Amino acid sequence: MRLPLLLGEGLCKRRTLLCGILCGGEPWRRLLRSTVSTLSLSERARLRAAKIWSERQAAELEAAERFSWLAREFEAVGASASVRQLASRAADDERRHAELCANLSRYFGEGVARSGPPFVRRIAPAGMERKDALIYDVVALACVTETLSTALLGALVDRASDSLARRTMHSILRDEVSHSRLGWAYLAEVASPRAMQAISARLPAMLQSTLGDELFRRSSVDPLECAVAGLGQLERIERRRIVRETLEQVVFPGLERFGADVRGGRQWIEDRQ
């Protein structure tokens, strides 16, 4: 059964369908119930996707502000021109991502309210020296968050069931790879035993503030998860798997190469198995 038959593809076809339902007996009625149920699930999945992309639009605007702040901080502490350029470009990328997310939210059925620039709080704990706090923020935003985002988006592109969603996620994915590289490039310039000792001591707190506990909570099966997975959000169990694997195979080894002790981070993940 093709959907246009239910939505109006000519009077003759609608009349044929109606006659079939009224006169064709139980097989036709079962087919109608199945079709209506599928449409209902699809519509609810699209509305869920609209909300997800609306929330992501706000997150992208916040990320744009963070990268703009990083660019100013890099200038102030004398970071290399290449790192400063990566941060400035990342801020522009995130603003473009916000527009893409807003368009996708509208496409799935939910308008996005315009608002002023978001308030962005520092990620680094209070009391850290400026340069150490900057390293902490870069690790949290670029080495952790953007690296995880790259892995998750890659899986989403593979699962995409909607062409516009696939194109949007693929466009964002290309930029996220560059944003992740920014963090590792800055660490290559400034990593020192003292700085990495500070990262090591605070790594569990960093993971807690960037990931939280919601992802790792046990929850009942959500019937919309599979449908929404093709529209922009993977099933919770799949997100957990990708986050764990990316931390263990990419983020932690990367930090170790710069001298960090990541045992606290590994224990943080282990505690959430």
Query: Which tens digit of pLDDT belongs to each residue from 20-33?
Result: 545 656 665 555 44
Residue 151 pLDDT grade (very low, low, confident, very high; cuts 50, 70, 90):
very high
The answer to the question of residue 100 being in a domain is yes
Task: Report the half-sphere exposure of 48 (CA within 13 A, side-chain side).
Answer: 20
Does the pLDDT of residue 3 top 50, yes or no? Answer: no
- State the pLDDT at residue 166: 94
The answer to the question of residue 119 being in a domain is yes
The answer to the question of residue 38 being in a domain is no
Within 10 A of 215 (CB to CB), how many other CB atoms are there?
11
H-state helical runs in the chain: 4-7, 11-23, 26-77, 81-108, 130-138, 147-159, 163-190, 193-211, 225-229, 236-246, 252-257, 263-270
Does the pLDDT of residue 41 top 60, yes or no? Answer: no
Residue 214 pLDDT grade (very low, low, confident, very high; cuts 50, 70, 90):
confident
- State the pLDDT at residue 9: 43
- State the pLDDT at residue 16: 56
Residue 116 Rama label (left phi>0; alpha psi -120 to 50; beta): beta
CATH of residue 252: 1.20.1260.10
Q: What is the residue-averaged pLDDT of the chain?
A: 85
C-alpha distances in angstroms, 107 versus 111, 146, 165?
Answer: 9, 25, 9
The answer to the question of residue 129 being in a domain is yes
Whether 21 contacts 28, CB under 8 Å: yes
CA distance linking residue 99 with residue 89, whole number of Å: 16
Between 119 and 101, the more confident residue is: 101
The answer to the question of residue 258 being in a domain is yes
How confident is the model over 117-144, as a mean pLDDT? 86
- State the pLDDT at residue 38: 40
The answer to the question of residue 17 being in a domain is no
Does the pLDDT of residue 73 top 50, yes or no? Answer: yes
Does the pLDDT of residue 152 top 90, yes or no? Answer: yes
The answer to the question of residue 87 being in a domain is yes
Structural domain of 73:
43-270
The answer to the question of residue 11 being in a domain is no
In this predicted model, what pLDDT tens digit does every residue of 222-268 receive, in sequence order? 888 888 999 999 999 999 999 999 999 999 999 999 999 999 999 99
Residue matched to tokens 């006169």: 23
Q: What does pTM read for this prediction?
A: 0.80
How confident is the model over 181-209, as a mean pLDDT? 94
Total domains in the chain come to 1
